[in-house]
């Protein structure tokens, strides 16, 4: 995935948050500190990563990542594997 | 593993749900959810009303209630029952088998087989497979398959992951031989390497229940439960289902020489609405063919959600017409199984309350 894809990835994560303004999301966004974060959001992100990138994110991946850039890196590394 | 059964049929299904109903809206304050999250949960997961037992009602009570109803309404003759198979994860006691207790309570004949099977979300499928196998014996003409769980007793009320979706239910399914030239196709797989994705840590012989195992503690998401409670790794279970179930259904259809379009209804285990919608999307099945309303009306009662979905959504239709149905169960074990069979001309197919 290149930078362009990173923008697409961030948008896909932002979509999971639903009502929130997606333009306010960036690679430095700490996605677990956003309003609306819950274990349901974790499930929605895991589901999106599997559907759109065929990547399996674990609970550990979610736990160990802070920003959307961290999360993007996890997904990218798993895609290239 | 692919399986074939000839000249067998399901001649009646009765679901039994507790009359005690609880609503997500009433309980939402217990969970400390922001309002947005609870609205989202209701919408995505299908949280609504669910049925749970009150007090000391156990699996056997729901089963005995259902079978007594059938006896009293002339829908089942107690002397014709040659085998009683009970699938449950919540037996009344560690021993004796709960099926023996039910046999005794109902005064069934001695010349029969009683058997408990410990299986969860795929338990209805495993129970049907076992029932068909028993019917290979000439002495066994009619099997009563019971699938019952009171899993609400094993879920912490402060566990936001599991508590809002769990329900209790039982079902009575009559399985017998038929002169008609029927073929039932089934497939089943298991992965015990991932057995602890859904489990109850204490209460067995490995870790008996004690004051320590009853202590509540908070997990990383703030859910409070004890070692005596059910714990589920939601993300892992979700991915397991999305990875395994669609290819299983495709290979079963191929094995049966049938197309997706030839199936009238996909009656799947009902974990929550989200998972069923995702499965339907992946399989390319219209939602009209895959009921997903059990969690919002009754809760997830493990294996019994399939007969609950069957009776609630199809009801008397199955006593009048014949439908080509695909059943699937997946979860605890991990176990995943599915079956294609023609269902219809049944003596009964409905739902009652305890």
Q: Is B45 on the interface with A (CB under 8 A)?
A: yes
Nearest to B221 among A18, A39, A58 (CB): A39
Please answer whether residues A65 and A49 qualify as being in contact, where contact means their C-beta atoms are separated by less than 8 angstroms.
no
Residue A59: in which H helix or E strand, if any?
helix A59-64
The per-residue pLDDT for A4 is 64
If one counts every other C-beta atom within 10 angstroms of the C-beta of residue B340, the result is: 24
Please answer whether residues B185 and B252 qualify as being in contact, where contact means their C-beta atoms are separated by less than 8 angstroms.
yes
Nearest to B36 among A36, A39, A47 (CB): A36
pLDDT band at B36 (very low <50, low <70, confident <90, very high): confident
As to burial, measured by CB atoms within 10 angstroms (0-12 exposed, 13-18 middle, 19+ buried), residue B269 is buried
What is the spatial distance between Cα B297 and Cα B167, in angstroms, rounded to a whole number?
10
Tell how many helices (H) and how many strands (E) occur in chain A: 4, 0
What is the spatial distance between Cα B261 and Cα B283, in angstroms, rounded to a whole number?
11
- Residues in chain A whose Cβ is within 8 Å of chain B: 18-19, 35-36, 38-40, 42-44, 46-47, 50-51, 56-59, 62-63
Q: Tell me how close the Cα of A20 comes to any Cα of chain B, in angstroms.
A: 11
Nearest to A43 among B33, B234, B243 (CB): B234
The per-residue pLDDT for A3 is 60
pLDDT band at A81 (very low <50, low <70, confident <90, very high): low
Q: Give the burial string for B151-188 (b: 16+ CB within 10 Å, else e).
A: bbbbbbebbbbbbbbbbbbbbbbbbbbeeeeeebbbbb
ipTM of the complex as predicted:
0.79
Residue of higher predicted confidence among B139 and A34: B139
| Mean pLDDT, rounded, for A13-41 | 83
pLDDT digits (tens, 9 = 90+) for B275-323: 999 999 999 999 999 999 999 999 999 999 999 999 999 999 999 999 9
Size of interface A-B (CB pairs under 8 A): 47
Q: Tell me how close the Cα of B293 comes to any Cα of chain A, in angstroms.
A: 19
Please answer whether residues B14 and B348 qualify as being in contact, where contact means their C-beta atoms are separated by less than 8 angstroms.
yes
């Amino acid at each position: 995935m290149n930078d362009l894809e990173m923008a697409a990835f961030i948008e896909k994560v932002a979509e999971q948050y639903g009502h929130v303004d997606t333009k306010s999301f960036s690679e430095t966004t700490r996605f677990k500190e956003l309003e609306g974060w819950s274990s349901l959001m974790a499930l929605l992100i895991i589901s999106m990563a599997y559907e759109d990138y065929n990547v399996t994110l674990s609970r550990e991946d979610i736990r160990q990542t802070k920003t959307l850039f961290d999360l993007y890196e996890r997904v990218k590394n798993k895609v290239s594997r | 593993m692919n399986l074939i059964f000839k000249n067998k049929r399901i001649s009646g299904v009765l679901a039994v749900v507790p009359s005690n109903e609880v609503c997500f809206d009433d309980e939402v304050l217990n969970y400390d959810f922001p309002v947005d999250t609870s609205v989202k949960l209701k919408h995505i997961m299908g949280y609504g009303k669910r049925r749970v037992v009150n007090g000391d009602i156990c699996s056997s009570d729901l089963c005995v209630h259902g079978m007594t109803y059938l006896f009293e309404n002339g829908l089942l003759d107690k002397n014709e029952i040659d085998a009683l198979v009970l699938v449950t994860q919540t037996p009344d006691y560690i021993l004796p088998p709960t099926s023996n207790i039910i046999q005794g309570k109902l005064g069934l004949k001695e010349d029969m087989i009683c058997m408990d099977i410990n299986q969860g979300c795929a338990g209805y499928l495993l129970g049907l497979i076992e029932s068909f196998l028993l019917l290979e014996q000439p002495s066994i003409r009619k099997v009563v398959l019971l699938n019952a769980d009171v899993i609400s007793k094993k879920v912490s009320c402060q566990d936001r992951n599991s508590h809002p979706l769990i329900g209790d239910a039982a079902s009575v399914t009559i399985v017998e031989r038929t002169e008609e030239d029927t073929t039932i196709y089934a497939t089943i797989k298991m992965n015990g390497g991932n057995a602890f994705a859904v489990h109850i840590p204490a209460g067995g012989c490995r870790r008996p229940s004690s004051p320590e195992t009853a202590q509540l503690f908070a997990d990383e998401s703030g859910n409070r439960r004890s070692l005596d409670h059910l714990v589920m790794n939601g993300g892992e279970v979700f991915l397991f289902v999305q990875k395994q179930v669609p290819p299983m259904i495709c290979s079963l259809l191929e094995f049966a020489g049938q197309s997706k379009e030839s199936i009238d209804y996909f009656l799947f285990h009902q974990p929550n609405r989200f998972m069923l919608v995702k499965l339907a999307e992946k399989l390319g099945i219209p939602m009209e063919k895959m009921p997903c309303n059990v969690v919002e009306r009754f809760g997830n009662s493990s294996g019994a959600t399939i007969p609950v979905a069957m009776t609630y959504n199809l009801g008397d239709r199955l006593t009048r017409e014949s439908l080509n149905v695909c059943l699937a169960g997946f979860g605890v074990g991990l176990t995943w199984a599915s079956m294609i069979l023609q269902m219809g001309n049944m003596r009964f197919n409905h739902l009652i309350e305890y």
